[in-house]
Amino acid sequence: MILVTGGCFQGKTQYACGTFGVGSGDTADGAVCPLEELYRTKLLYHFHEYIRRLMEAGEEFSLERLSAENPEVILVTNELGCGVVPADRFDRAYREQTGRICCRIAKEASQVHRVVCGIGTVIKDG
């Protein structure tokens, strides 16, 4: 599993596709794809939106299931912990849940990359 993170509109998906040789046919958009797509796709971008959709559906994210069914997946997510704390209760819970899930993924991932202005920095390798 590989995690690519960074701020909004920083070129994370383009960086991940180029770095890991993933074509557009091998990607899924976490904001709109079927929830089961996470377990089949090579690269899922907007992973933070995928988590929002799970929460809205009242479902839990399972790192164990993901590790078992799609251990080579590349997840691309926005960093949500910087900036103004949302006033809305759900948005605060969503932001916290996303951060906690991404921390768990980063711990288990073989690589973690952070992208700023389209430039990736490897923050974990191995």
CB atoms within 10 A of CB 98: 23
Give the range of the structural domain holding residue 12, as residue numbers without chain letter: 2-125
Q: Which of 46, 45, 58, 47 is nearest to 93 (CA)?
A: 58
Number of domains in the chain: 1
The fraction of the chain above a pLDDT of 90, given in percent, is 91
Q: What is the pLDDT of residue 83?
A: 78
Tens-place pLDDT, residues 33-51: 999 999 999 999 999 999 9
Q: What mean pLDDT do residues 83-111 have?
A: 93
CATH code (residue 65): 3.40.50.300
pLDDT greater than 90 at residue 28: yes
Distance, CA of 71 to chain centre: 14
SS3 category, 42: coil
Q: What is the spatial distance between Cα 79 and Cα 57, in angstroms, rounded to a whole number?
A: 22
